[in-house]
Structure 1
């Protein structure tokens, strides 16, 4: 029974306990202001009556809300709130005065209880009670509606961020596959045995990529392993003119990265630079102040390279902005190109 009452009013025990305490101290304050300072000041009969009056007002306001509030967002205009308070006030005054008349008739005290002064004083007190307790209830109602709306906005933003990240991943993965298949196409025309080995390595790498693609973040050590496989795969075509140096501290780090981050940066190295035995291109992956830094000397290719579609680095930057709130640090100075990726220590709450 009580649970149904709480559910109808959309309140809990703590709120009603607060209303009872408020009623109790309100009555004590009124008695003290009237000069009634004695043991009677703290007796509970008047606070109990005030508390049950508050419950009746809450019921009236709840009924009006159910009748007048038709939208689902729970928002009330000032005009609607005044309308609810006014209707609740009329019903409350009518009910209270009707009950008072019945009791007075039963005990034959109509003339004494309905003198002009007493009637005015009683109705003014009832008006104050309705405005006070209806205002408290509507304030709570508005707070609950605002909390629900904020939660809906937070849920929407989380879903939007998750969807956007998945869309970015969906763009990164085909980008990787497209370039890998182009490499395989070139190898087939040069050396079929080497192409077969390349296809075997590519299949193993792609299985790992499929696992990573389902993750929002992967361990840094796993991302390093994936980058090494990718680099070795590319060396099958371009030869030993490209060398990879990895900071040993990266392998023991517990930090996290979005999947395919390092692979994308290495892909850009191969796309825009040229290495040879005479002038090897040394790609360095290091750990610097909780950031992974991928750097290489600028050795532009003498021949025209196949240009990328431009979405890779841009989308990677968007991913890091969503997940960390920080941007990539791209540095192009002193004949070196470097990209610094911020690391995460735990899964973000996006």
Structure 2
């Protein structure tokens, strides 16, 4: 909540509620009591209103900090329902103590009718307090979620554009067709498979914008076709190994994530038969995520001729993970290996599923 708005609300709110409550609950006091009694009611009502307002505000904000986001709304409401009777009775107690003190009497517990009446009024006030702060919180969370969805859509389209620009370009197409041409006359069977895998690659690239996520199984199937093209072109100069158990097939990640990382490795490293580029894709357990992580690692043998940086691709991947799950990817370069750790997502972890 913005400071200026919060300060104004905390000053004006209790006064407005007190005036509202006076009209509905205490109007008879102004016609049946003397001036001293009226002033006493005014002082007690306003003071108790400020105390209860700020106490309830503190409790609601504490619950929000410990159970943040739209996904934990139900949990927050359960906590609020649990503390609601205590807050109401604190309000009743404050009013009773104040009346006893101003009347010069020891504390007394009221009769059932007086207690029920005071409790009913406090139920009304505390419902308003909670509704104000929880309502504002939900509205702002809804606004933030919409803003994040718009940002995610922008990142998604930018990622698709970069992927298509980097892969469905004349150089990639030329290299693929050149490899195919050399196979047609010498190895027609391999040429036929090459065409099939090439078709799968382009089909996946063109359909990858249909959703924010894809299953790990689908992404690995695409990588299998993509690396087949690379192996056909580079032969023994490139090696791609995948070590992922079948249980991981139910995990999710943004589409084209693995392709961007493999393309990044090919783009920035030398590829020679006697000095092959090795790329490893491996599922790893993680203490931070319930599902685990996916490690994509390649040995470093950087090209002597510098190529354009692929930071845009890595930035897009990082932004997608932030938007979808509030999790970060990990990028490591120890001089021997370039490693990227990707969180594997489950449906319950996704912001958009909350």
How high is the TM-score relative to the length of structure 2? 0.52
Post-superposition, which runs of at least 4 consecutive aligned residues in structure 1 deviate over 6 A? 19-22, 28-34, 143-150
> Aligned to 1:300, which of 299, 302, 307?
302
Shift of 1:225: 1.2
**What is the 5 A alignment of 1:195-344?**
198-249=194-245, 252-288=248-284, 289=286, 290-301=292-303, 304=305, 307=308, 311-333=312-334, 335-344=336-345
Contact 2:155–2:316 at 8 Å: present in 1 too?
A: no
Distance 1:183 1:166 in 2: 26
Deviations 1:259-318 (A, max 9, x none): 00001111122222234444443321112222111112213357x586566532332233
Contact 1:175–1:312 at 8 Å: present in 2 too?
A: no
> Aligned to 1:180, which of 172, 177, 184?
172
Cα gap change, 1:23 to 1:327, in 2 (>3 Å):
same
Distance 1:20 1:192 in 2: 86
Distance 2:300 2:159 in 1: 28
How many residues end up aligned between the 2 structures?
227
Q: Counterpart of 2:162?
A: 171
Larger radius of gyration: 1
Deviations 1:58-117 (A, max 9, x none): xxxxxxxxxxxxxxxxxxxxxxxxxxxxxxxxxxxxxxxxxxxxxxxxxxxxxxxxxxxx
Distance 1:243 1:146 in 2: 51
How high is the TM-score relative to the length of structure 1? 0.53
The unaligned stretches of length 5 or more in structure 2 are: 1-18, 35-127, 287-291
- More deviation, 254-263/158-167: 158-167
Task: Tell me the C-alpha RMSD between the 2 structures.
Answer: 4.0
Deviations 1:174-214 (A, max 9, x none): 32212531422543675555777544421222113333321
Contact 1:221–1:251 at 8 Å: present in 2 too?
A: no
User: Aligned to 2:245, what secondary structure does the other structure show?
Assistant: helix
Deviations 1:5-46 (A, max 9, x none): xxxxxxxxxxxxxx9998664357778967xxxxxxxxxxxx
Shift of 1:256: 0.8
> Aligned to 2:146, which of 150, 155, 161?
155
User: Aligned to 1:174, what secondary structure does the other structure show?
Assistant: helix
Distance 1:262 1:215 in 2: 16
Cα gap change, 1:333 to 1:189, in 2 (>3 Å):
same
Shift of 1:226: 1.0
Deviations 1:216-243 (A, max 9, x none): 0001111111111111111111003322
The unaligned stretches of length 5 or more in structure 1 are: 1-18, 35-136
Contact 1:245–1:284 at 8 Å: present in 2 too?
A: yes
User: Aligned to 1:326, what secondary structure does the other structure show?
Assistant: coil
Contact 1:271–1:305 at 8 Å: present in 2 too?
A: no
Q: Counterpart of 2:26?
A: 26
